[in-house]
Structure formats: C-alpha cells, structure tokens
Amino acid sequence: MNDSNPMAAGAAWMDGRVMPISEARIQVNDWGLVHSDITYDVVPVWEGGFFRLDDYLARFSASRA
C-alpha cells in the first residue's frame, strides 16, 4: 500500500466529501443499512489516482436525483 496516499486503501463519499475508507462510519439505524436502500458505484482510477473525479461526482449526483 502507498503510505503517502491516505486513499490508497479505499475511499468513501460521506457527508458531502471524499474521505479515506478508514474514516467512514454508518449509524446502526441508518435507513440505507436497515432497509438495504443503497447505491453502489465505483470511481474510475488511473495510475493510482482518481480519473476525472469532478466529472464522475457530477454524474453520480445527477443519477441519485
């Protein structure tokens, strides 16, 4: 794993921001967890970094509207 990149082990989108997967937390009574009401998607990565992240986030946001 690349120790200089906190996102190398994975990343999560929570509370309006991208964060290392190790910081992501979900309440045990979260609607999505309790009712399996979730969205799964994969961010494109190129050479160890996010590829066109702003474009991806715009499409992802539009798809959940």
Domain spans of the chain, in order of start: 11-63
Q: pTM to 2 decimals?
A: 0.47
33-42 long-range contacts, Cβ below 8 Å, gap at least 24? 39/63, 39/64
Residue 60: pLDDT band with limits 50, 70, 90? confident
Over range 36-43, report the average pLDDT: 78
Q: What is the DSSP letter of 64?
A: T
Q: Above 60 in pLDDT, residue 7?
A: yes
Which residue shows structure tokens 């989108």?
13
User: Which tokens belong to 46?
Assistant: 């190129």
pLDDT at 14: 86
pLDDT at 48: 87
